[in-house]
Protein backbone atom coordinates (compact mmCIF):
# COMPACT_ATOMS: atom_id res chain seq x y z
CA UNK A 1 0.00 0.00 0.00
CA UNK A 2 1.13 3.54 -0.79
CA UNK A 3 -0.70 5.06 2.18
CA UNK A 4 -4.14 5.60 3.71
CA UNK A 5 -6.49 8.23 2.28
CA UNK A 6 -9.81 9.42 3.70
CA UNK A 7 -12.20 10.83 1.09
CA UNK A 8 -14.88 13.14 2.49
CA UNK A 9 -17.73 14.30 0.22
CA UNK A 10 -21.51 14.40 0.61
CA UNK A 11 -21.96 13.18 -2.98
CA UNK A 12 -21.74 9.41 -3.17
CA UNK A 13 -20.74 9.44 -6.84
CA UNK A 14 -17.68 11.59 -6.04
CA UNK A 15 -16.69 9.31 -3.17
CA UNK A 16 -17.01 6.21 -5.33
CA UNK A 17 -15.01 7.65 -8.25
CA UNK A 18 -12.18 8.90 -6.02
CA UNK A 19 -12.05 5.61 -4.14
CA UNK A 20 -11.80 3.73 -7.43
CA UNK A 21 -9.09 5.98 -8.93
CA UNK A 22 -6.97 6.08 -5.77
CA UNK A 23 -7.47 2.40 -5.02
CA UNK A 24 -6.24 1.53 -8.52
CA UNK A 25 -3.01 3.41 -7.69
CA UNK A 26 -2.45 1.26 -4.62
CA UNK A 27 -3.80 3.53 -1.89
CA UNK A 28 -5.94 2.25 0.95
CA UNK A 29 -9.11 4.36 0.74
CA UNK A 30 -11.90 4.95 3.22
CA UNK A 31 -14.81 7.35 2.76
CA UNK A 32 -17.05 9.62 4.82
CA UNK A 33 -20.20 11.48 3.78
CA UNK A 34 -20.01 14.35 6.28
CA UNK A 35 -17.63 16.38 8.40
CA UNK A 36 -18.79 14.71 11.60
CA UNK A 37 -18.31 11.23 10.12
CA UNK A 38 -14.85 12.23 8.91
CA UNK A 39 -13.79 13.49 12.34
CA UNK A 40 -14.96 10.27 13.98
CA UNK A 41 -13.21 8.13 11.35
CA UNK A 42 -9.93 10.05 11.70
CA UNK A 43 -10.12 9.84 15.48
CA UNK A 44 -10.50 6.06 15.22
CA UNK A 45 -7.75 5.65 12.64
CA UNK A 46 -5.60 8.48 11.32
CA UNK A 47 -5.03 8.71 7.57
CA UNK A 48 -1.94 9.87 5.71
CA UNK A 49 -4.10 12.22 3.63
CA UNK A 50 -7.64 13.59 3.74
CA UNK A 51 -9.43 14.71 0.56
CA UNK A 52 -12.13 17.03 1.84
CA UNK A 53 -15.04 18.74 0.08
CA UNK A 54 -15.71 22.36 1.05
CA UNK A 55 -19.50 22.51 0.65
CA UNK A 56 -21.24 19.92 2.80
CA UNK A 57 -24.34 19.86 4.97
CA UNK A 58 -23.79 20.09 8.70
CA UNK A 59 -20.13 20.75 9.43
CA UNK A 60 -18.69 22.25 6.25
CA UNK A 61 -15.24 21.54 4.89
CA UNK A 62 -13.44 24.52 6.45
CA UNK A 63 -14.79 23.75 9.92
CA UNK A 64 -13.89 20.09 9.45
CA UNK A 65 -10.39 21.14 8.41
CA UNK A 66 -10.00 23.24 11.55
CA UNK A 67 -11.14 20.39 13.81
CA UNK A 68 -8.94 17.86 12.02
CA UNK A 69 -5.92 20.06 12.64
CA UNK A 70 -6.88 20.29 16.30
CA UNK A 71 -6.82 16.51 16.44
CA UNK A 72 -3.60 16.25 14.45
CA UNK A 73 -1.59 19.41 13.60
CA UNK A 74 0.39 17.39 11.02
CA UNK A 75 -2.64 16.15 9.06
CA UNK A 76 -2.40 16.58 5.28
CA UNK A 77 -5.66 17.82 3.73
CA UNK A 78 -6.46 18.50 0.08
CA UNK A 79 -9.61 20.58 -0.27
CA UNK A 80 -11.92 20.11 -3.27
CA UNK A 81 -14.90 22.18 -4.42
CA UNK A 82 -17.00 22.98 -7.43
CA UNK A 83 -18.36 26.25 -6.11
CA UNK A 84 -15.53 27.81 -4.15
CA UNK A 85 -14.07 31.24 -4.77
CA UNK A 86 -10.44 32.32 -4.68
CA UNK A 87 -11.10 33.73 -1.20
CA UNK A 88 -12.25 30.30 -0.04
CA UNK A 89 -9.12 28.67 -1.44
CA UNK A 90 -6.89 31.23 0.24
CA UNK A 91 -8.71 30.76 3.55
CA UNK A 92 -8.32 26.97 3.31
CA UNK A 93 -4.57 27.25 2.71
CA UNK A 94 -4.25 29.70 5.58
CA UNK A 95 -6.00 27.18 7.83
CA UNK A 96 -3.42 24.57 6.89
CA UNK A 97 -4.74 22.82 3.78
CA UNK A 98 -1.97 21.27 1.69
CA UNK A 99 -3.65 22.17 -1.61
CA UNK A 100 -6.97 23.14 -3.17
CA UNK A 101 -8.47 21.49 -6.28
CA UNK A 102 -11.52 22.56 -8.26
CA UNK A 103 -14.23 20.22 -9.47
CA UNK A 104 -14.60 18.59 -11.89
CA UNK A 105 -11.38 16.95 -10.78
CA UNK A 106 -8.70 16.11 -13.31
CA UNK A 107 -7.43 12.62 -12.50
CA UNK A 108 -3.82 13.32 -13.45
CA UNK A 109 -3.64 16.51 -11.42
CA UNK A 110 -5.32 14.78 -8.47
CA UNK A 111 -2.81 11.94 -8.49
CA UNK A 112 0.15 14.33 -8.73
CA UNK A 113 -1.20 16.35 -5.80
CA UNK A 114 -1.77 13.21 -3.74
CA UNK A 115 1.77 11.99 -4.48
CA UNK A 116 3.24 15.36 -3.47
CA UNK A 117 1.28 15.35 -0.22
CA UNK A 118 2.46 11.83 0.60
CA UNK A 119 6.08 12.70 -0.17
CA UNK A 120 5.86 15.85 1.94
CA UNK A 121 4.50 13.87 4.89
CA UNK A 122 7.30 11.31 4.53
CA UNK A 123 10.01 13.99 4.37
CA UNK A 124 8.66 15.77 7.43
CA UNK A 125 8.63 12.47 9.33
CA UNK A 126 12.19 11.62 8.29
CA UNK A 127 13.43 15.09 9.30
CA UNK A 128 11.75 14.77 12.69
CA UNK A 129 13.42 11.38 13.26
CA UNK A 130 16.80 12.76 12.21
CA UNK A 131 16.47 15.74 14.57
CA UNK A 132 15.47 13.43 17.40
CA UNK A 133 18.44 11.14 16.74
CA UNK A 134 20.82 14.11 16.53
CA UNK A 135 19.48 15.51 19.80
CA UNK A 136 20.03 12.18 21.55
CA UNK A 137 23.56 11.87 20.14
CA UNK A 138 24.39 15.45 21.16
CA UNK A 139 23.09 14.94 24.69
CA UNK A 140 25.12 11.74 25.00
CA UNK A 141 28.28 13.44 23.72
CA UNK A 142 27.91 16.38 26.12
CA UNK A 143 27.39 13.94 28.98
CA UNK A 144 30.63 12.13 28.08
CA UNK A 145 32.54 15.42 27.81
CA UNK A 146 31.13 16.59 31.13
CA UNK A 147 32.25 13.42 32.88
CA UNK A 148 35.70 13.76 31.31
CA UNK A 149 36.00 17.37 32.46
CA UNK A 150 35.06 16.53 36.03
CA UNK A 151 37.70 13.80 36.23
CA UNK A 152 40.40 15.74 34.36
CA UNK A 153 40.44 19.17 36.04
CA UNK A 154 43.60 20.13 37.94
CA UNK A 155 44.24 23.55 39.54
CA UNK A 156 46.89 25.95 38.23
CA UNK A 157 48.13 29.17 39.78
CA UNK A 158 48.84 32.17 37.60
CA UNK A 159 50.14 35.57 38.59
CA UNK A 160 47.50 38.27 38.30
CA UNK A 161 47.70 41.99 38.80
CA UNK A 162 49.75 43.26 41.77
CA UNK A 163 51.19 39.82 42.36
CA UNK A 164 47.85 38.22 43.25
CA UNK A 165 47.68 34.48 42.58
CA UNK A 166 44.64 33.66 40.47
CA UNK A 167 43.54 29.99 40.18
CA UNK A 168 42.84 28.61 36.72
CA UNK A 169 41.30 25.26 35.92
CA UNK A 170 42.56 23.75 32.69
CA UNK A 171 41.47 20.41 31.32
CA UNK A 172 44.32 19.70 28.92
CA UNK A 173 47.16 19.64 31.43
CA UNK A 174 48.21 16.05 30.68
CA UNK A 175 49.59 17.12 27.33
CA UNK A 176 51.68 19.95 28.83
CA UNK A 177 53.08 18.76 32.20
CA UNK A 178 56.88 19.03 32.19
CA UNK A 179 58.60 15.92 33.49
CA UNK A 180 60.86 16.97 36.39
CA UNK A 181 62.30 15.15 39.41
CA UNK A 182 59.85 14.70 42.27
CA UNK A 183 61.94 16.79 44.67
CA UNK A 184 61.65 19.88 42.42
CA UNK A 185 58.63 22.09 41.75
CA UNK A 186 56.62 20.91 38.75
CA UNK A 187 55.67 23.36 36.01
CA UNK A 188 52.97 23.16 33.39
CA UNK A 189 53.14 24.65 29.87
CA UNK A 190 50.06 26.80 29.27
CA UNK A 191 48.95 29.21 26.57
CA UNK A 192 50.03 32.81 27.17
CA UNK A 193 47.18 35.02 28.41
CA UNK A 194 48.17 38.70 28.36
CA UNK A 195 51.42 38.92 30.32
CA UNK A 196 51.17 35.49 31.96
CA UNK A 197 54.51 33.65 31.85
CA UNK A 198 54.60 30.46 29.77
CA UNK A 199 55.58 28.28 32.75
CA UNK A 200 53.51 28.40 35.93
CA UNK A 201 54.03 26.46 39.20
CA UNK A 202 51.50 23.83 40.09
CA UNK A 203 50.18 23.50 43.65
Q: What's the whole-model pTM score?
A: 0.65
Confidence (pLDDT) at 26: 96
- What pLDDT is recorded for position 113? 97
Q: What pLDDT was estimated at residue 169?
A: 43
pLDDT value of residue 166? 44
Domains of the chain, residue spans: 4-131, 153-201
Low-confidence ranges of the chain (pLDDT < 50): 156-180, 186-194, 196, 199-203
* 4-131: in CATH 3.40.50.2300: yes
**3-class secondary structure for the chain?**
CCCEEEEECCCHHHHHHHHHHHHHCCCEEEEECCHHHHHHHHHHCCCCEEEEECCCCCCCHHHHHHHHHHHCCCCCEEEEECCCCHHHHHHHHHCCCCEEEECCCCHHHHHHHHHHHHHHHHHHHHHHHHHHHHHHHHHHHHHHHHHHHHHHCEEEEEECHHHCEEEEEECCHHHCECCCCCCCCCEEECCCCCCCCCEEECC
Instruction: Output the pLDDT for position 4.
Output: 96
pLDDT (0 to 100) of residue 135: 76
What's residue 73's pLDDT?
92
Amino acid sequence: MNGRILVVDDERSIRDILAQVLGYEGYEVSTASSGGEALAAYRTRASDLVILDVKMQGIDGLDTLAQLRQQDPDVRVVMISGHATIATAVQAVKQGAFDFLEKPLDADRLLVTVQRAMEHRQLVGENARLREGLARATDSRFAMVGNSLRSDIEPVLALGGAGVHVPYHLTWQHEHVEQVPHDQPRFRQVATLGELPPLLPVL
